[in-house]
């Protein structure tokens, strides 16, 4: 009724010695396979360092290379020796030189004694796992892999491509269903000996020799033929990153490992002195023989992989610079852009800030300076209001602003007087809500005290610029949520657009939208537009404005704020 | 050559390369900081110091130091010297190339040594590691407090700008070009193109065929400059905390202006000098106070990538 450890080791060997001693001192028989690439001097030292233990044996050596059959061969040789020389062993635990036992060996023994017939080996069919290292999943089993992935990558890739081209497939041995899983297992004597003594072993071997990474599939598939008691999980905590390399544990993982209640962890950084010292001298004892629960560690590593592959949306930084058309990444959070509102509505900024609780800026792309909220010269993250700096990289200003203010909705004004360089970026950003009252830029002109000839020229320019902006917004590629009202439409029913816009931002909780902003005095605006027409310009973005005073659009109840239900 | 201890260098040591001139006051803390980080050998080029820097370095047990009185500018701002030393001593090693006012931080640097990082980079087949320059400054006038020998400069200059960096791609070398921070904000608001580059790739698993092109901003072959992900993910990256803006700065910039040995006709130093006389203060109400690497990670200035 005991557990025997099969250990596969390569250099550096110093930690392997410590761990082997630890197992041996706890009374576990050990068979060690030393990679034949280990230099004779190091090997001699290693064997010498463990010579005091009778129950440590060294098996015949293979030259081990990742992804190849050699690793299976090593474990077979060592396992056979284990079964043969230690007849008391009931479970065989496959471990490596960089595995570290976390709990007392006594607890592992007790755990296995409670599950005397159970094989602990992760074993799942290819359909159920997303492990596709090098773009290969089922092809691991249907192609053959005579070239080394590490040393002969070019040939490896070409040969895979060739097999794909030819539609090559290999015939699986009868009755075999390919399963995959962690290469670190703990099998019962019955199951392991059945695999190793099977009269068909040679046939299976012929097949698996040419499978890619057979140490993750040989035992995992065969165990299904011989045992009905498979607990499909590994007792060794071992996590892999997105490139299929094992995550490494360091000193700062100590608490995380302690709380995992796992029996063994890999891979440990060889210089993680504190981990080795802590767990080898003072393993985590669990009061009620807890089941391993690596959930928290799983989450930590899953988050790391996610950060590497998807990153933080909207972040542009030294090691994340997403391509222009890449989805997960323009800006960090939803925000709103208003065009024409502040021209047509008195104190629109304050009203918006009050009703939504959002941060409302002026014209961030104003030719003179970035008009940050409250007239600040520097804003969140140290963004300066200099127009030169902003225009040097307008996109950076916007992405930085949205990133720096995560958690607070940003709104800003935009219009044809502003630097338009940001427009294509805005239009392509699904995070932005753009609301436009087209033609409203004419209102400040209408109120200005400039010569009419000058006004006419400026009006023509602004209309051209805004028309281009609207064209961008209306293009089928636009991802922004854009709403466009002509000025005439807006004035006819101002509350509806305002309501829509505010609802989308989400009104400040607890505050009811009770006040509407006041529309500026438009008496004579119709005539103003007519005058522009008379001068040969065609102001079309405002919509239809009657010329006469009587026909002025109805102003909301004589400038008094009114209630919205 | 003043002190050659390069025979002490052993196979897996992480090496540090640095050029300096008259930095005696900074050296004790600099050496202490990098020894703690896990640097095993320092290789310095002393460009004509007359303040005792050279003698101080020559006495250190883990330092090799070379001396030259030649022009810093002619040596492409010291890079020719660095490239020469790197080619000669760094082949097969991880090499960190920094200035004496640059302090390297990386994910987990408070709990893991630099060799934990380089082992991980090796295992991940990564050859170069980005660490953007982060300008640190004090609250108040930069000359208000005097930096003393051995002192942590970030006890004084412990503020930074967290989110005003502008990034574009250099089509020629494929590296990112980063500008911004307090210097762009305070000195180059009218002339952003002149704002200093903050992108740096200081940590490289060196091969004798590699070469730094312009400072440690970019290298050849170009593949080494691809320290960023273009598909939305984040690669791991660190920071170089820049302790330039201490009381020593005014004096230094005056001196450098007279020597005219710096990049782009010392334009940068001219801008500093003018501005410094007016108002030597970077701090603003949006400045961020430095706590640790985790803070920089959360702010998005550096990233853990998939290192956990």
Predicted confidence (pLDDT) at residue B73 exceeds the cutoff of 70: yes
Express each pLDDT in A450-493 by its tens digit: 888 889 899 999 999 999 999 999 999 899 999 999 999 998 88
Query: In whole angstroms, what separates CA A73 from the centre of its chain?
Result: 37
Identify the helix (H) or strand (E) that includes residue A93: strand A89-96
Find how far residue B147's CA is from the centre of its chain: 19
User: Which class for B98: exposed (0-12), middle (13-18), buried (19 or more C-beta within 10 A)?
Assistant: buried
Q: 3-class SS at B55?
A: helix
Residues 79-108 of chain B whose Cβ lies under 8 A from any Cβ of chain A: 108
pLDDT value, residue A512? 56
Domain identity same for A346 and A274: no
The low-confidence residues of chain A, meaning pLDDT below 70, are: 1, 128-137, 284-289, 327, 507-514, 548-565
Contacts of A385 (CB under 8 A, 6+ apart): A369, A370, A371, A372, A376, A377, A378, A379
Q: What is the pLDDT of residue A559?
A: 42
**What CATH number has the domain bearing residue B156?**
3.90.550
Greatest pairwise CA separation for chain A in angstroms: 110
Question: What's the rounded Cα separation, in Å, for the pair A264 and A236?
Answer: 5
Q: Both tokens of residue B10?
A: 């052993």
Sign of the dihedral defined by the CA atoms of residues B134, B139, B143, B149, in that order: negative
CA separation, residue A518 to residues A343, A351, A502, A515, B179 (Å): 11, 10, 16, 9, 43
Same-domain pairing of A173 and A197 = yes
Residue A167: inside a domain, yes or no?
Answer: yes
The count of structural domains within chain B is: 1
Assess whether A404 and A539 both reside in one domain.
yes
By the 8 A CB rule, do A493 and A558 touch? no
Q: What is the pLDDT of residues B248-294, one digit of tens each?
A: 887 777 777 777 666 666 667 776 776 666 666 899 999 999 999 99
Q: Which two tokens stand for residue B74?
A: 């002619």
* CB-based contact B229 A403, cutoff 8 Å: no
Distance (Å, whole) CA B291 – CA B308: 20
Q: Where are the beta strands (DSSP E) in A378-494?
A: 378-379, 383-384, 410-414, 432-438, 481-486
- Residues A49, A197, single domain; the answer is no
A209 and A101 fall within a common domain: no
- Chain B environment of A318 (Cβ under 8 Å): 130, 132, 167, 176, 178, 199, 227-228, 237, 301-302
Rounded to 5 degrees, what are φ and ψ at B156?
-95, -60
A121 in a domain, yes or no? no
Indicate whether A535 and A422 sit together in one domain.
Answer: yes
Domain end point (choices A271, A294, A309): A309
- B106 to chain A nearest CA, in Å? 13
CB A443 within 8 A of CB A525: yes
* Largest Cα span, chain B: 52
The pLDDT value recorded for residue A150 is 72
Residue A327, domain member (yes or no): no
In terms of residue numbers, what domain contains B268? Answer: 6-299
Q: Give residues with Cβ within 8 angstroms of A345, minimum separation 6.
A: A351, A517, A518, A519, A520
Q: pLDDT value at position B249?
A: 84
Q: Looking at residue A438, which CATH number applies to its domain?
A: 3.40.50
Q: Chain B 183-222, CB below 8 Å of chain A: which residues? A: 184-185, 188-193, 199
- DSSP 8-state secondary structure symbol assigned to residue A260: T
Full residue range of the structural domain in which residue A210 is found: 126-179+193-221
CA A29 – CA A111 distance, rounded (Å) = 17
Cis peptide before A370 (omega within 30 of 0): no
- Taking a C-beta distance cutoff of 8 angstroms, is the pair B238, B186 a contact? no
Last residue of a domain, one of A248, A275, A309: A309
What is the helix (H) or strand (E) element at residue A186, kind and residue range? Answer: strand A186-188
Do A149 and A102 lie in a common domain?
no
Beta-bridge partners for A483 = A435
* CA torsion angle B294 B297 B303 B306 (round to 10): 50
Pairing label, strands A410-414, A335-339? parallel
- pLDDT reading at B55 higher than 90: yes
Q: Is the CB of residue B165 less than 8 Å from the CB of residue B239? A: no
Asked if B264 has any chain A CB less than 8 Å from its own CB, the reply is no
Q: So what's the pLDDT on residue A507?
A: 62
The closest alpha carbon to B224, from B205, B208, B237, belongs to: B205
Taking CB atoms and an 8 Å cutoff, what residues of chain B touch A388?
Answer: 189-192
Split into its structural domains, chain A has a count of 3
Nearest C-alpha in B relative to A150: B125
Q: Which residues of A touch B115 (CB under 8 A)?
A: 271
CB atoms within 10 A of CB B1: 8
Distance from CA of A514 to the nearest CA of B (A): 34
For chain A, the average pLDDT equals 87
Q: What are φ and ψ of residue B78, in 5° steps?
A: 85, -10
Q: For A252, which of B108, B167, B181 is closest by C-beta distance?
A: B108
User: Hey, what are A425's tokens?
Assistant: 């970026």
Alpha-carbon span A490 to A436, nearest angstrom: 10
Higher pLDDT, B71 or A305: A305
Counting every residue written for chain A, the total comes to 565
DSSP-derived 3-state class of residue B185: helix
My answer on whether A215 and A279 are in the same domain is no
Tell me how close the Cα of A383 comes to any Cα of chain B, in angstroms. 5
**Residue A173 phi, psi (nearest 5):** -55, 145
Cβ distance of A320 and B235 shorter than 8 Å: yes
Residue at B1 is within a domain: no
> Which of A260, A255, A275, A188 is closest to A226 using CA atoms?
A188
Domain assignment present for residue A316? The answer is no
pLDDT of residue A171: 77
pLDDT of residue B261: 66
pLDDT higher than threshold 70 for residue B165: yes
- Give pLDDT, residue A564: 39
* Neighbouring C-beta atoms of residue A376, cutoff 10 Å: 16
Q: Is A185 within 8 Å of A195 (Cβ atoms)?
A: no
Q: For residue B196, what is the DSSP state?
A: P
In a domain, B305, yes or no: no
Show residues of chain A in contact with B188, CB under 8 Å: 389
Predicted local distance difference test score (pLDDT) of residue A556: 45
CA-CA distance, A184 to A121, in Å (whole number)?
7
Q: Where are the alpha helices (DSSP H) in A198-272?
A: 201-209, 218-226, 254-258
For residues B85-109, average pLDDT: 95
Residue A508 near residue A533, CB atoms below 8 Å = no
Task: Please report whether residue B304 resides in a domain.
Answer: no
> CB burial class (10 A; 0-12, 13-18, 19+) of residue A286?
middle
Asked if A382 and B302 come within 8 Å (Cβ–Cβ), the reply is no
Phi (first) and psi of residue A136, to 5 degrees: -115, 130
Note whether residue A339 is domain-resident. Answer: yes
The helix/strand/coil state of A354 is helix
Q: Are residues A68 and A164 in the same domain?
A: no
Q: What is the pLDDT of residues B221-245, one digit of tens each?
A: 999 999 999 998 999 999 999 999 9
* Residues in chain A within 8 Å Cβ distance of B232: 309-311, 313, 320, 322, 326-329
Q: Which of B170, B300, B302, B303 to mutate to test the interface with A (most CBs of A within 10 A)?
A: B300
Give A228→chain B minimum CA distance, Å: 37
Q: For residue A301, report the phi and psi dihedrals to the nearest 5 degrees.
A: -75, -35
CA A520, A526, A532, A533: dihedral to nearest 10 degrees? 150
CA distances from A477 to A80, A157, A339, A432, B92 (A): 65, 37, 20, 14, 49
Q: Which of A79, A38, A8 is nearest to A266 (CA)?
A: A8
Q: SS3 of A292, please?
A: coil
Task: Say whether both A360 and A437 belong to one domain.
Answer: yes
* Helix, strand, or coil (residue B145): coil
What count of other Cβ atoms lies within 10 Å of the Cβ of residue B205?
21
Residue B241 lies in a domain: yes
Strand partners, A412: A337
Residue with tokens 């009587």: A550
Nearest to B154 by CA among B139, B169, B165: B139
Residue B308 touches chain A, beta carbons under 8 Å? yes
Set of chain A residues whose Cβ sits within 8 Å of the Cβ of B120: 248
Note whether A516 and A380 are same-domain residues: yes
Does residue A324 lie in a domain region?
A: no
pLDDT-based confidence at residue B103 (cuts at 50, 70, 90): very high
> Which of B131, B142, B289 has its CA nearest to residue A318?
B131
Q: Are residues A451 and A383 in the same domain?
A: yes
pLDDT at A58: 94
Identify the bridge partners of residue A231 per DSSP, sorted by sequence position: A120
**Residue A328 within a domain:** no
- The alpha carbon of residue A466 is apart from the nearest alpha carbon of chain B, in Å, by 28
- Around Cβ B233, how many Cβ atoms within 10 Å? 24
Output the pTM of the full model: 0.88
Chain centroid offset of residue A238 CA: 20
Cα A128 to Cα A496: distance, rounded to the nearest angstrom: 51
3-class DSSP assignment, residue A249:
strand
């Amino acid at each position: 009724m005991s557990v025997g450890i099969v250990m596969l080791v390569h250099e550096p060997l110093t930690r392997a010695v410590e761990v082997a001693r630890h197992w041996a001192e706890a009374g576990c028989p050990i068979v060690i396979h030393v990679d034949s690439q280990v230099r004779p001097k190091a090997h001699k030292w290693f064997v010498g360092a463990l010579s005091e233990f009778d129950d440590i044996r060294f098996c015949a050596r293979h030259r081990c290379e990742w992804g190849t059959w050699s690793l299976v061969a090593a474990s077979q040789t060592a396992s056979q020796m284990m079964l043969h020389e230690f007849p008391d062993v009931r479970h065989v635990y496959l471990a490596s030189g960089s595995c570290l036992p976390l709990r007392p060996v006594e607890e592992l023994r007790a755990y296995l004694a409670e599950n005397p017939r159970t094989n602990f080996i992760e074993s799942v069919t290819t359909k159920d796992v997303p492990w596709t290292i090098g773009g290969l999943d089922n092809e691991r089993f249907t192609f053959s892999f005579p070239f080394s992935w590490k040393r002969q990558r070019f040939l490896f890739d070409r040969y895979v491509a060739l097999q794909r081209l030819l539609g090559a497939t290999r015939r699986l041995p009868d009755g075999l269903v390919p399963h995959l899983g962690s290469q670190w297992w703990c099998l019962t004597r019955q199951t392991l000996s059945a695999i190793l003594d099977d009269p068909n072993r040679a046939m299976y071997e012929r097949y698996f020799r040419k499978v890619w990474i057979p140490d993750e599939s040989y035992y995992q598939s065969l165990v299904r033929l011989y045992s009905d008691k498979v607990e499909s999980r590994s007792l060794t905590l071992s996590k892999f990153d997105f490139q299929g390399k094992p995550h490494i544990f360091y000193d700062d993982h100590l608490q995380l490992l302690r709380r995992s209640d796992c029996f063994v962890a890999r891979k440990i950084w060889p210089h993680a002195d504190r981990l080795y010292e802590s767990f080898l001298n003072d393993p985590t004892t669990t009061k009620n023989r807890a089941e391993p629960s690596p959930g928290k560690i799983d989450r930590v590593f899953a988050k790391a992989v996610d950060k590497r592959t998807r990153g933080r949306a909207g972040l542009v930084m030294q090691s994340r610079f997403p391509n222009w058309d890449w989805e997960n990444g323009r800006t960090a959070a939803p925000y709103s852009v208003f065009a024409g509102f502040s021209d047509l509505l008195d104190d629109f900024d304050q009203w918006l800030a009050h009703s939504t609780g959002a941060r409302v800026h002026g014209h961030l792309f104003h030719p003179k300076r970035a008009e940050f909220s409250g007239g600040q010269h520097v804003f969140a993250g140290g963004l300066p209001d200099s127009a030169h700096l902003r225009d040097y990289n307008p996109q950076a200003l916007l992405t930085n602003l949205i990133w720096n203010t995560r958690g607070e909705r940003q709104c800003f004004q935009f219009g044809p007087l502003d630097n338009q360089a940001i427009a294509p970026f805005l239009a392509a950003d699904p995070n932005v809500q753009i609301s436009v009252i087209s033609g409203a830029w004419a209102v400040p002109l209408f109120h200005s005290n400039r010569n009419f000839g000058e006004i006419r020229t400026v009006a023509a320019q602004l209309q051209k610029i805004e028309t281009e902006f609207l064209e961008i917004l209306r293009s089928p590629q636009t991802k922004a949520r854009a709403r466009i009202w002509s000025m005439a439409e807006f004035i006819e029913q101002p509350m509806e657009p305002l309501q829509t816009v505010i609802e989308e931002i989400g009104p400040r909780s607890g505050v009811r939208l009770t006040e509407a902003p006041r529309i500026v005095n438009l008496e004579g605006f119709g005539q103003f537009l007519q005058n522009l027409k008379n001068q040969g310009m065609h102001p079309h973005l405002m919509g239809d404005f009657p010329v006469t005073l009587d026909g002025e659009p109805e102003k909301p109840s004589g400038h008094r704020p009114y209630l919205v239900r | 050559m003043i002190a050659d201890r390069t025979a002490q260098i052993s196979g897996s040591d992480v090496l540090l390369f640095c050029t300096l001139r008259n930095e005696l006051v900074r050296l004790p803390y600099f050496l202490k900081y990098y020894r703690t980080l896990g640097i095993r050998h320092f290789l310095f080029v002393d460009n004509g110091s007359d303040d005792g820097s050279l003698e101080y370095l020559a006495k250190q047990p883990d330092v090799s130091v070379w001396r030259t009185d030649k022009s810093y500018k002619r040596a492409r701002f010291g890079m020719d010297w660095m490239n020469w030393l790197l080619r000669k001593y760094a082949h097969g090693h991880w090499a960190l190339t920094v200035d004496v006012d640059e302090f390297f931080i990386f994910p987990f640097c408070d709990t893991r040594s630099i060799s934990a990082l380089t082992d991980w980079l090796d295992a991940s087949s990564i050859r170069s590691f980005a660490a953007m320059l982060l300008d640190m400054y004090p609250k108040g006038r930069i000359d208000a407090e005097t930096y003393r020998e051995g002192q942590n400069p970030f006890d004084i200059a412990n503020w930074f700008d967290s989110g005003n960096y502008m990034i574009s791609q250099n089509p020629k070398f494929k590296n990112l070009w980063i500008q911004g921070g307090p210097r762009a904000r305070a000195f180059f608001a009218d002339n952003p193109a002149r704002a200093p580059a903050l992108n740096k790739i200081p940590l490289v698993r060196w091969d004798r065929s590699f070469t730094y092109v312009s400072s440690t901003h970019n290298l050849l072959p170009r593949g080494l400059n691809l320290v960023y992900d273009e598909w939305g993910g984040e690669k791991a990256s660190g920071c170089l905390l820049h302790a330039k803006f201490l009381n020593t700065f005014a004096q230094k910039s005056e001196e450098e202006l007279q020597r005219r040995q710096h990049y782009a006709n010392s334009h940068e130093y001219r801008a500093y000098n003018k501005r410094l006389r007016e108002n030597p203060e970077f701090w603003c109400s949006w400045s961020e106070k430095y706590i640790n690497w985790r803070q920089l990670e959360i702010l998005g200035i550096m990233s853990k990538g998939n290192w956990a």
